[in-house]
Structure 1
Amino acid sequence: MPLMEHLRELRSRLTKAAIALVLGAVVGYLVHDLVWDFLVEPYCSLPESQVSGPDDCSLIVTGPFDAFFVAFKVWLFVGALVSAPFWMYQLWAFVAPALHGREKRYAYIFAPFAAVLFAVGAGLAYYITSYALTMLFGFLPEDADPFLTIGEYLDYMLIMMGMFGVGFVLPLLVALLNIAGILPHEALAKWRRVIVFGAFVIAAVITPAEPISMLALAVPLVVLFELAELFAFLNDRRKRRDDPYADLDDDQISEMDETPSPLEDPDVGEQSGKRS
């Protein structure tokens, strides 16, 4: 396809995905109260001394547009989840024609795993939120009252769930790169310590400044990375077993059979002699 046809195809796919997102946001508008109660539950489960009142877990509003922006984010959040199968299909329909049959097969296998890992990561972030907030609010002096704005809390929840979900999918990306031949096991083994250290650094950056969230993200990342490295080791060993030239570098000369082959088939020579 020419470039303009690709751009038209991309525009069509993006338009359909945007329409699906808008329709999903309508669903988010209808179930806003249920979703908000679900998101605010970790905050409401905090001890009474760490919420705004003994029988209340209200969040404060500091601006006239805070309520609308929070509701709008919840609508988009629900819309993205509800319409995920459709807009992911639009992305796949745009990319699939450029893939080979083997690459498509791997995509069909790894896409469900990516969805499951993302859901597990987001669920873990939701589960540890109350423990993380308890530790953070534990540093407050006795004469200080904890008041959290509604926008800050929602941003915290969405960022934590999104980052945890993406972090859990990264080891799967490592496995895909190994299958594609871009990231061999030797490179993973060489940089293992750096990758493990980087997992803790990334967890410390994207989570609050407390150890519960950092360890809750870093430890599963390290475990998943080790599983991805084991997969890369087994996959590379299978490649070496199936391909005798897999261990050779790109600029290394492979061994060749120097035994000369006959110039012509003996049967052909006998037939030509008989004809003559």
Structure 2
Amino acid sequence: MTERITKRRDPEGRMPLAEHLRELRNRLIYALIGIALASVVGWFLYDPLAAIMVEPLDGINERGGHAELNFGSVGVGFELHLKMAAFIGLFISSPWWILQGWLFIAPALKRKEKIMALSFTGVAALLFLTGGLLGWMILPRAVVILTGFAPEFAVNLLDARIYYRFFMQIIAAFGVSFLLPVVMVGVNFLGLIKGTSYLKGWRWAVIGCAVFSALVNPLPDAWSMLTILLPMLFFYFIATGLCILHDRRKAKRRSAELGELLGDESEGQDWIQP
């Protein structure tokens, strides 16, 4: 009986602000712990991945060019090893920290929505990793093309910090771009934006995605930009459809709960009539 009354008073499962903040803090701590543990694995994966990163430079040297990495000082190698280990850990642990984000939203969801959210977590992690992999595949070609603008007599003495940062920024940008539908659905599940609002703003979405694709694209050609833009637009409209379906189900559930509540109140009034 108490649970039924509580549900009627708060059918959406809202929590006090302090409890929300406490839950957010816990989820952030769990996510950081997962990233830290995965970074330990990333420490041991650094050497083979770093060897792959410098392959484009080896190819330039084999074709008669001159390209070398400059580590600059004694501690740069250790510094970059730490940064790359953390970056690799971020990608390896992506299913875990994405799950923590969904679990923060979960208390406000119904049972079927929780199941869908859990399934969407796997999809989100797959999208994030796919975006990062796409960026990783484009980067070697980007390095060859961009260093090719130097004169033939020049030596491409690349700062190791800048070179590593270039790789990390592009891979992260590609991964984040593929997380667009996850963010959209999460915001919709929180009740902040309706699916119809996404649909009405599709023109601005196209412009925003095009600008983002142009900014993160490391190559000067349009085809590389399209490899980012087209998947983002596809995911945008898929996420919009999911949000509209969620809003409709939510509206039907509220109508049913309201009808049930009004029906119970009318029965109570009939009972007290003389």
TM-score, normalised via structure 2 length? 0.69
Structure 1 counterpart of 2:52, one-letter code: F
Q: Give the match for residue 217 of structure 1.
A: 228
Q: Taking structure 1 as reference, are residues 67 and 188 closer, same or farther at Cα in structure 2, changes over 3 Å only?
A: same
Structure 1 counterpart of 2:205, one-letter code: I
User: 1:48-88: per-residue Cα shift (whole Å, max 9, x none)?
Assistant: 458536xxxx4222233221111111221233344555556
Q: Give the match for residue 207 of structure 1.
A: 217
- Residues of 1 paired with 2:31 and 2:61: CA distance? 42
Secondary structure of 1:144 counterpart: coil
1:165 CA drift (Å): 0.7
- Residues of 2 paired with 1:205 and 1:134: CA distance? 19
- Residues of 2 paired with 1:163 and 1:213: CA distance? 14
Unaligned segments of structure 1, at least 5 residues: 246-262, 266-271
Secondary structure of 2:48 counterpart: helix
Q: Does 1:74 align with 2:74?
A: no
Q: Does 1:164 align with 2:174?
A: yes
Q: Give the match for residue 254 of structure 1.
A: none
- Residues of 1 paired with 2:70 and 2:185: CA distance? 45
- Residues of 2 paired with 1:231 and 1:201: CA distance? 25
Tell me, yes or no, if the aligned pair for 1:167 and 1:221 is still in contact at 8 Å.
yes
Tell me, yes or no, if the aligned pair for 1:123 and 1:161 is still in contact at 8 Å.
yes
Moved more, 191-200 or 23-32: 23-32
- Residues of 1 paired with 2:52 and 2:21: CA distance? 40
Moved more, 159-168 or 96-105: 96-105
Instruction: Report 1:104-253 matches (<5 A).
Output: 104-178=114-188, 182-208=192-218, 210-211=220-221, 213-232=224-243
Tell me, yes or no, if the aligned pair for 1:96 and 1:104 is still in contact at 8 Å.
no
Please report the RMSD computed on the Cα atoms of aligned residues, expressed in angstroms: 4.3
- Residues of 1 paired with 2:233 and 2:20: CA distance? 39
Moved more, 231-240 or 183-192: 231-240
User: 1:69-114: per-residue Cα shift (whole Å, max 9, x none)?
Assistant: 1111122123334455555666666x26733334422320210010
1:237 CA drift (Å): 6.8
- Residues of 2 paired with 1:168 and 1:157: CA distance? 17
- Residues of 2 paired with 1:183 and 1:233: CA distance? 10
Q: Give the match for residue 107 of structure 2.
A: 98
The percent identity for this pair of structures is 33
- Residues of 2 paired with 1:230 and 1:83: CA distance? 29
TM-score, normalised via structure 1 length? 0.69
1:166 CA drift (Å): 0.9
Q: Which has the higher helix share?
A: 2
Structure 2 counterpart of 1:121, one-letter code: G
Structure 1 counterpart of 2:129, one-letter code: A
Structure 2 counterpart of 1:187, one-letter code: S
Q: Taking structure 1 as reference, are residues 43 and 114 closer, same or farther at Cα in structure 2, changes over 3 Å only?
A: farther
Structure 1 counterpart of 2:155, one-letter code: D
1:192 CA drift (Å): 1.6
Secondary structure of 2:72 counterpart: coil
Instruction: Please identify the structure whose Cα radius of gyration is greater.
Output: 1
Moved more, 154-163 or 2-11: 2-11
Unaligned segments of structure 2, at least 5 residues: 1-14, 256-268
- Aligned length, in residue pairs: 249
